[in-house]
Chains A and B, each alone.
Chain A
Amino acid sequence: MTTALLILIALVTLCSAATAMLLRNLIHSVLLLIGSWIGVSVFYLFAGAEFVAFAQVLVYVGAVSMVVLFAVLLTRRSRADMAVSPDTQSRAVSAVLAAGAVLAVLLYAVLLTPLPSGISQGPSANVRQIGTELMGTHAAALLVIGMILTVATLGGVVIASTDGASKKEGPK
């Protein structure tokens, strides 16, 4: 029962991710990728990691997807531009070959590693435990993450802002 559920989640996630990478319409790709992100968060829920599942939806569906969609709309010249021009055949083939090779190595490693028999009943971390661990053991890492996020946000704003660029470029 649980295995079937897991396979279903995996299939939905993988199919939407694969389709997203194949489609030519950028917006459709992004929306399908959002579908696969939601699939991953459903997997987290399935595994009992409630907190990360909701954090994943909040960050990916609420924030990252919006940034991506805005970027897509800001970087096109016409509506017809939305369909990406097809990539060269050789490039696609070599990409699939490279990914296939990586997949083969990964699957070889995964399937041949002896895993402990019997399903260990994993821990159930409630939000309080996660909070204590974040603030206690990993407090330094939390501060560093905060710094990274601040710097990244400021950097993003500086890079994307038009104030400095328009002076240098002059009229287009």
Chain B
Amino acid sequence: MIHHPLELCLVFSSLLFCIGLAGALSRSNSILVLLGIELMLNAANLNFVAFWRYGPSPAPATGIVFVAFSVAVAAAEAAVGLALVISIYRRQRSIRLQEAVRLKG
């Protein structure tokens, strides 16, 4: 039985991570794969905040600072990833991952 808020948060974030993982593995649309990866990143951020808030020896603001960095990196990842998706679409006229098999466009 769950009796600690930290435990609840960790279960929450593991579930979110696995939903993202399942999505990223099962979908063949590259945008959805990217979004699944974003969900996994979010789950990791959730853990940072959970440990910062309920963890055993909390530092003043380290957890929050890490989340801020992680959000910034996620934004960069989304920008580059979607630019790649658009570029692939331009060459292959499709964003299905199975069809993006040529190494040379």
Contact = CB atoms under 8 A, between A and B. Distances in A.
Contact of A40 (B45, B54, B60, B75): B45
Nearest to B15: A14
A166 to B, nearest CB: 9
B75 A149 contact: yes
A148 to B, nearest CB: 5
Given A26-B31, A49-B52, A55-B68, A103 B60 contact: no
Contacts of A138: 65, 69
Interface in A5-32: 6-7, 10, 13-14, 17-18, 20-21, 26, 29-30
A3 B5 contact: yes
A20 B35 contact: yes
A78 interface: no
Interface residues of B, number: 75
A119 B80 contact: no
A6 B5 contact: yes
A148 B25 contact: no
Given A40-B46, A119-B5, A17 B82 contact: no
Contact of B28 (A6, A44, A87, A130): A87
Interface in B52-71: 52-56, 58-65, 67-69, 71
Contacts, number: 241
B53 A47 contact: yes
B69 A49 contact: no
Contacts of A64: 38, 74-75, 78
A84 B45 contact: no
B14 A103 contact: yes
B63 to A, nearest CB: 8
Contact of A43 (B27, B46, B65): B46
A80 interface: no
A21 B31 CA distance: 11
Given A43-B46, A48-B53, A87-B26, A120 B58 contact: yes
Interface of B: 2, 4-12, 14-23, 25-29, 31-32, 34-36, 38-39, 42, 45-46, 49-50, 52-56, 58-65, 67-69, 71-80, 82-87, 89-91, 93, 95-96
26 contacts: A2-B5, A6-B8, A14-B12, A17-B20, A21-B23, A36-B16, A36-B39, A49-B63, A52-B68, A55-B68, A60-B71, A64-B38, A67-B78, A68-B34, A87-B28, A91-B26, A95-B22, A120-B58, A123-B60, A125-B64, A134-B68, A137-B65, A145-B69, A155-B83, A159-B87, A165-B91
